[in-house]
Chain A
């Protein structure tokens, strides 16, 4: 979902660059307020993991693939604000060293995959924890469903940017329909991968999962 240079005009790209920089600034302070010393290596590891996972494009339909965004995954593991930083680091490394995502589009990409996906997805995650029936798999289940939502939201983010500053003369409605159609399918892949990874971490170290604390605690008591 990395936007290259040229697709969105310079003014719009710069504007979203300012939004992204502001988001990173807020995230640095917010993350610092809750991140403990022992979580620093974990957060770094989550960034490395998201980079690695994004290299795997899975086939979706003939002629189209998708890859994990990892925004919601990071939000559940280390918290939504830390996830903003995780994705910003990943996108910066990809944009600078791997020519993946245009340099002028870095702000746009950070807004879609680093701000909208983790923050919007995490809001959906919190909501799902409230409405899903209580069970001992609620954390990976809610994470998977919220991951699906995060992809659709991020795709919508691109459409909004395209509507504001798209350089091609293509109708926004057509782009919206196509983007949602494609990313509803890709979102299923994101949901499966996220549920699988969160489930694996929950099975081994639930105490390290930031989003587990928000889950209804009664499940533990019921199991015991």
Chain B
């Protein structure tokens, strides 16, 4: 990979971290569109508690410490890094899928 692309990716990752750690602090606490509609139309009560709602990062680290700003920052940082690694892994697998197909095709060709 050339230097320019590496710099671009690094800057992109930095912007993502700033979004997850800083900009997210200014997020509205109001329900999103679907939750709002569920409240208005009276089916919010059908929503059940999340099966993994007791994990430390549940609801973006809401119960992590008494400091809400810190909780959001930690959740944002960890989530962004985990998503980067998971995303990289999935696309690495996608690339291999293709490599496997090509190998299979090559052996079938006379």
Contacts and interface: CB of A to CB of B under 8 A. Distances in A.
A3 B32 CA distance: 11
Contacts of B94: 27-29, 31-32, 35, 82, 85
Interface of B: 1, 4-5, 8-9, 12-13, 15-17, 19-20, 23-24, 26-34, 36-38, 40-43, 45-53, 55, 57-60, 72, 75-76, 78-88, 90-99, 101
Interface stretch (A125-133, A135-143, A177-185): A177-185
Nearest to B40: A178
Q: Give the 10 A-B CB pairs with smallest separation, nearest first.
A: A47-B87, A32-B98, A168-B43, A44-B88, A6-B48, A52-B20, A65-B28, A99-B58, A48-B84, A99-B50
Interface string A15-50: 000000000000111011101011111111111111
Given A6-B48, A55-B60, A45 B13 contact: yes
A102 interface: yes
B67 to A, nearest CB: 17
B50 to A, nearest CB: 4
A178 B41 contact: yes
A48 B16 contact: yes
A45 to B, nearest CB: 5
A68 B43 CA distance: 24
Given A28-B94, A179-B34, A4 B13 contact: no
